[in-house]
Amino acid sequence: MNRFIAPLMLAFLLPACSLQPLYSGGSNGVVAQTLGTISVVPIEGKNGWLMRNALTDRLGTQDSNSAQFRLIVVLDDQIEGFGVRADDTVTRERRTLRARYQLVSVATGETVLDTTAGSDAGIDVVSSEYATIAGENSALENLTQKVADQIVTRLSIYARGE
């Protein structure tokens, strides 16, 4: 009997904590509407192309001419070897992707958000150079998706006004 009372009490207390869904209102909500007005500035390089596409897909930007905000992203992509054998060959690599991004109001030119996001991934270095390069590219694609998710989450929190 007591094990049913505690969850029931929590269910009654939950509305009192003022938690609200971030994307309440769906595509007509404040967050979705604000994200749709962010234009992503082109980013240099292959990793920049991947990041810009990932961000544009997530933001749902309709028309860059009517954008209220510009998102400026600078990427730092590093691959470092570790896990070295006795013959000095690398057996493992770490790929790190960091993004510094700024959200700039088009109307005022003011930077309203300036922060960073990042992630890293491990890559096995094998005897096939092709397989290693494929692993590095796959890691870059996955990291781009993770960092884009982090950026959009932070932009959503900003759009929510928190």
Range 145-156 average pLDDT: 96
Per the listing, tokens 């990793």 go with: 47
Is residue 88 situated within a structural domain?
yes
Supply the mean pLDDT for the chain: 85
Position 90 scores a pLDDT of 85
Q: Find the CATH number of the domain harbouring 87.
A: 3.30.160.150
DSSP-derived letter for residue 43 is -
The pLDDT confidence band at residue 15, using thresholds 50, 70 and 90, is low
Is residue 65 situated within a structural domain?
yes
Is residue 6 situated within a structural domain?
no
Is residue 155 situated within a structural domain?
yes
Q: Is the pLDDT of residue 117 over 90?
A: yes
DSSP result, 93-156: EEEEEEEEEEEEETTT--EEEEEEEEEEEEEE--S-HHHHHHHHHHHHHHHHHHHHHHHHHHHH
Is residue 8 situated within a structural domain?
no
Handedness of CA 20, 24, 29, 32 (dihedral sign): positive
Position 110 scores a pLDDT of 95
Is residue 2 situated within a structural domain?
no
d(CA 129, CA 90): 12
- Residue 39 near residue 71 (C-beta atoms within 8 A): yes
Is residue 15 situated within a structural domain?
no
Q: What range defines the domain where residue 27 resides?
A: 20-160
Position 67 scores a pLDDT of 86
Burial of 128 from C-beta contacts in 10 A (0-12 / 13-18 / 19+):
exposed
d(CA 162, CA 158): 6
Domain count, the chain: 1
Per the listing, tokens 């982090």 go with: 150
pLDDT per residue as tens digits for the range 19-57: 565 555 555 677 778 888 999 999 999 999 999 999 999
- Residue 91 near residue 125 (C-beta atoms within 8 A): yes
Is residue 156 situated within a structural domain?
yes
Position 135 scores a pLDDT of 92
Six-digit token string for 34: 């604000």
pLDDT per residue as tens digits for the range 74-91: 999 999 988 777 787 888
